[in-house]
Structure 1
Amino acid sequence: MDRSSRSRRITPALAVVAAAALTLAGCSSGSGGKKSEESAAEGAGAGKATTPRMTVALVTHQAPGDTFWDIVRKGAQAAADKDNVKLVYSADPNAGNQANLIQNAIDQKVDGIAVTLAKPDALKGVIAKAQQAGIPVVGLNSGLSDWKELSLMEFFGQDETVAGEALGKRLDEDGAKNVVCVIQEQGNVGLTQRCDGVKKTFSGTTEVLNVNGTDMPSVKSTITAKLKEDSAIDHVVTLGAPFALTAVQAVDEAGSDAKVATFDLNKQLTGAIAKGDIAFAVDQQPYLQGYLAVDGLWLYKNNGNYSGGGEQPVLTGPAFVDESNVEAIAAFAQKGTR
């Protein structure tokens, strides 16, 4: 995809503002400018587009049972409802299978594809096929370091290395000395970048622990065994909310004093932060990622817009959630949108 004609001056921050402004401009005036907090979050009661019906395929690397993706899907569906879009969702953590799902979307002649790039090399060929078929492709969540190389039109997510670096600094502030960083899916570049970011800024010792994220009892037993083996571990860092909650159980079972910190949120996790079971979480706003990916494809089809000018990612995180602000966020988490 030729990027030479697009602006290279738009910063990520400006891109977020531009995306928000264009999203509002795309709505009809029927809402009168006022929406309840709940209808805004769920996309109900908002002005709806009168543009022709289009179909968007959202293809992710979701593992079965990973509730993080429920939030992404809610955001994507809210945008689809507003934009008169038929949303087709499919997922597989196996990169080869994910590539097949993208091929299915191409065969169905969808109007746009939003895809996660956890294992970008495996998706390179099929993404090129979509582009050759004239189907615009945007990235979200995973793949910030690869989306431009694959000539995706836009990217919505956080810089995982920067997020990891921020968490590493926070660990120093909290007095941590020995950390284990738990990766639930080997080969996932975004997860690796998170732990690498922690190592870069954390002044203590960081050890990576690989677990099988599709088998939660195994995750628990592996973390428990590690904590029993090394009593010096004072913090367990997980890379997803369900794994953080399991890590809390592992800490208890191991009789460890280690604290748990994590990336990502869900409604159960905000409650755990409020209770003090989890020290803090780094939020990348997955609802926003799903919403902007679908809305970005709609804006491109109907107005030729490129969020971020087609050259800069639209950053949705990172932001810390801890006992100081969890109460304000918990209400949205209970709705399944944070």
Structure 2
Amino acid sequence: MRVTIKSIAEAAKVSRGTVDKVLNNRPGVSQPVREKVRKIAQDLGYKPNLAGKALAYQKNPLKIGVIILSKEDPFFNEVYEGIQKAYEELKDFGLLIETIFMNSVDVDEQLRCIKQLEEQNISALALSPLNEESIKKELIRLTQKNIKIMTFNTDLVDIERMCFVGQNLIKSGRIAGELIGKLLVNGGDVAVITGIEKIKALQERVEGFKEIIKEEYPSIKIIDIIKNIKDNESSYQKTMDLMKKYPHIKAIYITGIGVGGVGKALKELNRKDIKIVCFDKITETVDLLKEKVIDFTITQEPFMQGYLPIKILFDYYFKNQQPASEVVHTKLEIKTKENIDH
């Protein structure tokens, strides 16, 4: 038996008009009722008329806002490719995507981008949120306006986001720690070079690393954690200072940006003995891996971190389909010079 607006309304004990508003994403329904109707529709197996929805959205397009954390970090170029791929696949249904690249990775800039997209009447927002109370408050305010929030690459607690798409960050930090542990069979001193503290993903990578070193590698000592690296210039200088202060260091763990600067410093110092574990597959990392400056890099499918949030939001609005899970972990792979091109 076909599920109709009438049968959904009867099950939800609301009017057919209310169900119609919910299924077509129109205003005038409270958030609790909206979620109740969507759940009942999904439980009953309601199949929306995609052609009809596409026609409606072509007249009044569904607008999704996307904030990309950094225009300087080449990692996010591949994230953007994923966003564009999803858009190309779905644009004929009446989907519009407004993308903003942040000019700098700071709270005020992210707040500015959120405000700018809100003024463009977006229905949903996908972003890599900074871990700051003012950002949380702003995202909570948006959800109260029925603007759906998706997070990717880095998450944020205590907000009503639909879903997070990204690496299992604690696990990735633990894997990095295990790799360092295997490289330093006789133990030794290790330094951590990490990025901006307000990026929760980087904090979790450090946390996972510290966990496994403490649990399984007592002969390895973390002697320094260098924070707030923003680019290769700062990582280069900090690495030079680090090597001067700790000449007997055995390994460096890099949680994010700055790999090129670390590699440049170690090459200038001719420190081929230093073991390095880092993340991602940007050009400078691939080159340093092939030059045997880096031992391992851990990848995280940036393309899918751009593609999946758009696809999940499309399925929600056009198919009345909730995300299968609140967390979607992208694939984590360990790359060496032998498999970096695969």
TM-score by length of 1: 0.76
Match of 2:129 among 117, 123, 136: 117
Match of 1:277 among 286, 293, 307: 293
Equivalent pairs: percent with the same residue?
18
Asked if 2 retains the 8 angstrom alpha-carbon contact of 1:238 and 1:261, the reply is yes
1:247 is matched with which residue? 262
Superposed CA deviations along residues 185-244 of structure 1, whole A, max 9, x for unmatched, are 13322212111211111221124433553353232011111012212211111123x511
The structure that has the greater radius of gyration is: 2
Shift of 1:277: 2.2
1:138 is matched with which residue? 150
Q: Is 1:151–2:160 an aligned residue pair? A: yes
Q: Is 1:226–2:210 an aligned residue pair? A: no
Q: Which runs of 5+ in 2 are unaligned?
A: 1-30, 40-49
Shift of 1:111: 2.5
How many aligned residue pairs are there? Answer: 283
Match of 2:195 among 181, 184, 198: 184
Q: Which runs of 5+ in 1 are unaligned?
A: 8-26, 29-48, 329-338
2:86 is matched with which residue? 79
Tell me: CA distance 1:70–1:327, structure 2 relative to 1, closer, same or farther (3 Å).
closer
Answer 1 or 2: higher relative contact order, Cα 8 Å, separation at least 6: 1
Amino acid of the residue matched to residue 298 of structure 1? F
Tell me: CA distance 1:163–1:307, structure 2 relative to 1, closer, same or farther (3 Å).
same
1:326 is matched with which residue? 340
Shift of 1:268: 3.3
| Distance in 2 separating the partners of 1:250 and 1:69 | 25
Amino acid of the residue matched to residue 66 of structure 1? D
Amino acid of the residue matched to residue 105 of structure 1? L
Asked if 2 retains the 8 angstrom alpha-carbon contact of 1:96 and 1:122, the reply is no
| Distance in 2 separating the partners of 1:77 and 1:66 | 18
SS of corresponding position for 1:109 = coil
Amino acid of the residue matched to residue 179 of structure 2? R
Shift of 1:82: 1.0
| Distance in 2 separating the partners of 1:232 and 1:116 | 37
| Distance in 2 separating the partners of 1:120 and 1:139 | 14
Superposed CA deviations along residues 265-309 of structure 1, whole A, max 9, x for unmatched, are 213322332332211111111111110011111111101222234
Structure 1 residue runs of 4 or more that deviate by more than 4 Å after TM superposition: 1-7
Match of 2:66 among 40, 58, 67: 58
Amino acid of the residue matched to residue 276 of structure 2? V
Shift of 1:5: 9.4
Q: Is 1:302–2:310 an aligned residue pair? A: no
Asked if 1 retains the 8 angstrom alpha-carbon contact of 2:153 and 2:165, the reply is yes
| Distance in 2 separating the partners of 1:154 and 1:117 | 13
Q: Is 1:101–2:113 an aligned residue pair? A: yes
Shift of 1:155: 1.1
